[in-house]
Amino acid sequence: MLYRLQSQFESRKLDLSLLFSQKLVFLEGDISLPNSGLSKTVINELQQELTAIIHNAWKSNFSLPLATFEFHIKGTRTLIDLACSSKHRSDLRFVFISSITITQNWDESQGPYLEKLVMDAFTAAGGGYGECRYVTERILAKSGLEAMYLRVGQICGGEPSGVWKSSEWIPMIVKRCLSLGAFFIPTSTYEIH
């Protein structure tokens, strides 16, 4: 796992020394399995030490139906169970990196999308990716944990290189425009909130 991370850090020109921080512990598991497939010793240690979870592991595919994301929803439930078993549960923070796609059917005449749980499932209807994030936010809300939802649109490359994966949507648009020798220019204006 360390080799994969070093390779990713190098390709993005990030500081490799961060991978060797005393605060960083690498665990490789499968969150679709009970206890993420981790040993009882590791689970016991996590139950004693765990104070925060940042859940950002999700397959990005906007053409798949909701059912194909069941793995991710179950995995989130596994992380919730781990968080609930922590001795620090009352202070534990669970940060879920959700998606702006849960707002795809929001009625803009109501103003900006609310920064709280919106219970109208129609706002996320129309694609499995947004629907599964919507479902997961509600499961997390019912867990009783202190939860935060970050509904991001696109996380881009960071400093110092700003490198994007070539499979991300903006590099793909640029590649397509170059291959077509054309670029789409919208004829309407769009208000961004």
113: nearest Cα among 136, 130, 96: 130
pLDDT tens per residue, range 11-46:
878 889 988 888 888 888 888 788 889 999 999 999
**pLDDT at position 138, please?**
94
Is this model's pTM higher than 0.85 or not? Answer: no
pLDDT at 135 over 90: yes
Contact 6, 16 (CB under 8 A): yes
Residue 20 within any structural domain of the chain: no
Residue 7 within any structural domain of the chain: no
Helices (H) and strands (E) in the chain, counts: 5, 3
- For the chain, what is the domain count? 1
Residue 125's domain comprises: 31-162
pLDDT tens per residue, range 78-118:
999 999 999 999 999 999 999 888 888 888 888 888 788 88
Residue 177 within any structural domain of the chain: no
CATH number at 49 reads 3.40.50.720
Residue 139 within any structural domain of the chain: yes
Tell me the C-alpha distance between 150 and 7, whole Å.
27
Contact 113, 166 (CB under 8 A): no
Residue the block writes with tokens 């989130």: 76
Tell me the C-alpha distance between 34 and 76, whole Å.
11
Tell me the C-alpha distance between 14 and 162, whole Å.
10
**At a CB cut-off of 8 Å and minimum separation 6, what does 51 contact?**
86, 88, 91, 92, 93
Residue 182 within any structural domain of the chain: no
* CA 85 to chain centroid: 22
Q: With cut-offs at 50, 70 and 90, classify the pLDDT of residue 190.
A: low
